[in-house]
Amino acid sequence: MKTLITGGCGFIGSHLSEYLLERGERVEVLDDLSSGDLQNIARIKDHPNFSCTIDSVLNRAILEKVIKRNDFIFHLAAAVGVRMVIEEPIKSIRTNIEGTQNVLELASCFKKKVLLTSSSEVYGKNEKIPFSESSDSLLGSPKVRRWSYGCTKLLDEFISFAYFQEKGLPVIVVRLFNTIGPRQTGKYGMVVPKFIEQALNGEPITVFGDGKQLRSFTYVADVVEAMVSLAKEPSAYGEVFNIGNPQGTITINELAKLIKRLTKSESKIIHIPYQKAYREGFVDMERRVPDIGKIQSQINFSPRVNLQEALLKIIKGSGLNI
């Protein structure tokens, strides 16, 4: 099968590319390198079944060509991280909404199947955990930029299911819960690579807010395997699934302490108010924990890598001998 991965030079996209290539698939990635990196695909760039197009999902002419010549689309291209959403809101909103609209419209035109990556951010300020796919979304004020990401991803889901219902487009939506692993960067606000980099460099480990925020972390290999397995299930189309690891749930304070211990770092853990880290009025999701009963029923999904194992893989990949 010929597979297109939008955002394929990114963290998750590059791991997905490797996974598919190892299983004999032909893979093409489309990436504008706004947050992706060619280094992420360095190991596979010369693979005979791999190709890379440097361009954007906003370029319909290019997008039409790459969609037309592939059978399946993993749509991962999106604005990445809270920091990018806050600093470049217009670009982020346009990429998430217009880019997804382009992918779905052209996929429908050429009769292609799509898996769309959404986010746990769509649950917003809802604190009734764990979040199931039927849980309500509770987003904040449109004047608070932080909520624009969750809003755009939720709108992407609405558009996806509109195409499924009206046009018969085979589409699956997955909501990812804090995916972590090698090659993830901390420069867009991702907490695990940021903490690990600070710990390895002997810098203060900076926790934003009070550190009581509850998060659930999932290793990238588990996420990729779940996405590919769902794509093979005919009954998964027209549905939305959480992909996460409830056993990887931890507060940010506990995460900082765990990373400090695993890296054997002497770094101090300090707290920085949100207003200093971002801007006045910033708010965050206090709890983010998935209910994965639906995906377990669909594909017998069970995350294999626990949080400590995942962190050790990332730390070792950073060159620390432990």
Query: pLDDT grade, residue 133 (50/70/90)?
Result: very high
Residues labelled as active-site residues:
149
pLDDT tens-digit readout, 139-157: 988 888 888 999 999 999 9
How many CB atoms lie under 10 A from the CB of residue 38? 13
In sequence order, the 6+-apart residues with CB closer than 8 A to the CB of 319 are none
pLDDT at residue 168, rounded to an integer: 98
pLDDT at residue 283, rounded to an integer: 67
What own/partner pairs with CB < 8 Å and gap ≥ 24 does 313-320 have? 313/181, 313/182, 313/219, 314/180, 314/181, 314/182, 314/184, 314/192, 314/193, 314/196, 315/196, 315/200, 315/259, 315/262, 315/263, 317/182, 317/183, 318/196, 318/197, 318/200, 320/200, 320/263
User: What's 37's DSSP letter?
Assistant: -
pLDDT at residue 286, rounded to an integer: 84
pLDDT, average across residues 282-302: 91
Q: Please give the full DSSP string across 186-198, using - where no structure is assigned.
A: STTS-HHHHHHHH
pLDDT at residue 93, rounded to an integer: 92
pLDDT tens-digit readout, 2-23: 999 999 999 999 999 999 999 9
Find out whether the peptide bond into 130 is cis, omega within 30 degrees of 0: yes
Residue 135 predicted with pLDDT over 70: yes
User: What's 112's DSSP letter?
Assistant: -
Query: pLDDT grade, residue 281 (50/70/90)?
Result: low
pLDDT tens-digit readout, 241-273: 999 999 999 999 999 999 999 999 999 999 998
pLDDT tens-digit readout, 58-79: 999 999 999 999 999 999 999 8
Question: What percent of the chain clears pLDDT 90, i.e. is strictly above it?
Answer: 83
Query: pLDDT grade, residue 320 (50/70/90)?
Result: very low
pLDDT at residue 87, rounded to an integer: 81
CA-wise closest residue to 6 among 37, 28, 34: 28
CA-wise closest residue to 151 among 233, 219, 248, 85: 85
Q: Indicate the pTM of the whole model.
A: 0.94
Architecture of the domain made up of 2-179+218-244: 3-Layer(aba) Sandwich (3.40)
pLDDT tens-digit readout, 211-247: 999 999 999 999 999 999 999 999 999 999 999 999 9
pLDDT tens-digit readout, 182-193: 999 988 779 999
Computed over every residue of the chain, the mean pLDDT equals 93
- Which ranges of the chain would DSSP assign to H, the alpha helix? 11-22, 60-68, 81-87, 89-109, 148-167, 191-200, 220-231, 252-262, 274-277, 293-299, 307-317
CA-wise closest residue to 215 among 188, 190, 240, 197: 190
pLDDT tens-digit readout, 168-178: 999 999 999 99
> For the chain, what are the domain ranges?
2-179+218-244
- C-alpha to C-alpha distance for 221 and 225, rounded to whole angstroms: 6
- C-alpha to C-alpha distance for 66 and 91, rounded to whole angstroms: 23
pLDDT at residue 282, rounded to an integer: 61
DSSP, collapsed to helix, strand or coil, labels residue 221 as helix
